[in-house]
Amino acid sequence: MATHAFHYAVVAGGSMAGLLATRVLADHFERVTLIERDVLPSNYEPRKGVPQGRHAHVLLVRGQGIMESFFPGLTEELCAAGAVLVGVPEFAWLHAGHRRVRYHSDLSFLAMSRPLLEISIAKRVRALPNVTIQDGTRVEGLRHDHERRITGLHTRSVRPHRPADEIEAELVVDATGRGSATPRWLKELQFDAPRVDQIAAPVTYATSTFRRVPPLPDWCSLVITGAPARRAGFIFAIEGERWLVSLNAYFDEPVPDSHEEFLAYARSLPTPELYEAIRHSQPLSDVVHYHLAGSVGHRYERLRHFPEGLIMVGDAVCSFNPVYGQGMTVSAIEAETLHHALATAKQKGRLGSDFGQHWFRSIQPTIDVAWGSVQVEDYRFPELKDQRPYRIRPLQWYMERVHQATYRNPVVANQFYRVLNFLAPPTSLFRPRILAEVFAGPAR
């Protein structure tokens, strides 16, 4: 029988970050309650509280590995449900009009819909004996004592004529996402709110699903991007013998509304392959949209004072441009970090008044890696030229050459994919072997 170091924790928000945090907390607390405003579905349908759930998602290799460690057999379960395991030879990426080299590799990722992954994990979390999922409930504020320590949450059911409630907890985890109310609640408690950093590269998704029909291409997934490109496209083979297709538009680029416009938009991309894959396919859904104003980061790690008993995870800390597919993997790395932080606290016998401040400093290196990659690419847009930090320019110059090398050189492409998947640090792209390959001529 497991021995838990702490008594009671509560997680606000049933996002992917919230579900993973709940899984970790269940190893360290006697009881864990997950509060979610939505009524969580039991079928594989997108839910209202995850507006991006209908669109293309990428679970990077590091994120998949962490989730597998938390939920043994998850990968096998997802594949049995129809998720497609895509290796490098089955993955095509056209970047700035050039195709990245395809080669044999041990790297692979799962292509699937967001609801398939989310509901599979939610089922596993719901089955944990010391976890209670209280859905259909909204968080109305932080419960605190006279010393401003956070002691739980004020909640209320979204169902009519239900009384307000209070949940007591030693640790509150805010996983309510981009719209987190914590900065406002900090001010109400007379703490400073964090500084907010933004990269204002607005992007709109237009997405539809299609039946996969022969003749099928020689890839399972295709990504079409630029450096920069105001239009981009993603097509993934997913469960149900379907294509999930997301077309992206930056800034004021118009997005398609009808299927006719959707096909015309696909045809306008630099390669006809995406268009050819769906032109004769039956649409299985309407064209749906999702808009994001850009990347937003809250610098909690810079606060000198922070209330005891509270931490944030996922988009509540930093929300990235979804085009780069980093969000779920960053949340998974944060969950892994939370496990180590709680294990250390267990050795001390207490969470400690500075647990929150240590927490934000411990996750910041991962956030910095993801944020840095967004900066390098999004600041290429001429609309953001005046906002581009001077230190970014040499990195952009070098990464242009890395991109060019990935069109021809498997060694550079492999290292690029490993960095992209959080399997290697960005500094590994500056190792002598990679530098030599980047600045060499075409590989023999």
Contacts of 255 (CB under 8 A, 6+ apart): 204, 205, 206, 247, 249, 265, 289
Domain membership of residue 130 (yes or no) is yes
pLDDT score at 442: 58
335-362, pLDDT tens digit by residue? 999 999 999 999 888 898 999 999 999 9
Domain membership of residue 41 (yes or no) is yes
Domain membership of residue 148 (yes or no) is yes
pLDDT score at 443: 45
Q: Which helix (H) or strand (E) holds 156?
A: strand 150-157
> Tell me, what CATH number does 363's domain have?
3.50.50.60
Mean pLDDT value across residues 88-110: 95
Domain membership of residue 188 (yes or no) is yes
> Tell me, what CATH number does 107's domain have?
3.30.9.10
237-265, pLDDT tens digit by residue? 999 999 999 999 999 999 999 999 999 99
227 and 335 share a domain? no
Percentage of residues of the chain with pLDDT beyond 70? 95
Strands in 239-340 per DSSP E = 242-250, 288-292, 295-298, 310-312, 318-319
pLDDT score at 52: 76
Domain membership of residue 62 (yes or no) is no
Pairing state between β 171-174 and 150-157? unpaired
Query: 50-53: long-range contacts at Cβ-Cβ below 8 A with a sequence spacing of 24 or more?
Result: 50/15, 50/114, 50/118, 51/290, 52/114, 52/205, 52/290, 52/292, 52/322, 53/114, 53/115, 53/118
- Do 153 and 166 touch, CB atoms closer than 8 A? yes
| Closest residue by Cα to residue 327 from 33, 72, 52, 14 | 52
Pairing state between β 171-174 and 310-312? parallel
Mark which of 262, 277, 292 sits at the end of a domain.
292
Rounded Cα distance between 360 and 174, Å, is 13
Q: Beta partners for 208?
A: 245
252 and 354 share a domain? no
pLDDT score at 158: 86
Mark which of 257, 292, 327 sits at the end of a domain.
292
Dihedral angle of Cα 395, 398, 399, 404, to the nearest 10 degrees: 170
| Mean predicted lDDT score pLDDT of the chain | 93
126 and 20 share a domain? yes
188 and 249 share a domain? no
Q: DSSP letters along 220-239, please?
A: SEEEEE-SS-SEEEEEEEET
216 and 348 share a domain? no
189 and 221 share a domain? no
Domain membership of residue 159 (yes or no) is yes
Mean pLDDT value across residues 218-239: 95
pLDDT score at 54: 83
237 and 357 share a domain? no
Mean pLDDT value across residues 269-274: 95
Domain membership of residue 67 (yes or no) is no
85 and 207 share a domain? yes
Q: What confidence tier does 441 reach under pLDDT thresholds 50, 70, 90?
A: low
Contacts of 340 (CB under 8 A, 6+ apart): none
362 and 302 share a domain? yes
367 and 302 share a domain? yes
Q: Does residue 155 have a pLDDT over 60?
A: yes
- Do 441 and 405 touch, CB atoms closer than 8 A? no
24-55, pLDDT tens digit by residue? 999 999 999 999 998 776 666 666 667 677 88
Mark which of 292, 325, 342 sits at the end of a domain.
292
In terms of residue numbers, what domain contains 89? 74-112+202-292
Percentage of residues of the chain with pLDDT beyond 90? 87
pLDDT score at 1: 43
Pairing state between β 288-292 and 242-250? unpaired
Rounded Cα distance between 430 and 213, Å, is 43
Domain membership of residue 350 (yes or no) is yes
* Residue keyed to tokens 């968080």: 139
Q: Does residue 161 have a pLDDT over 60?
A: yes
227 and 343 share a domain? no
- Do 340 and 291 touch, CB atoms closer than 8 A? no
pLDDT score at 55: 86
Q: What total number of domains does the chain contain?
A: 3
Taking phi over 0 as left and psi of -120 to 50 as alpha, with beta for the rest, 251 belongs to left
159 and 272 share a domain? no
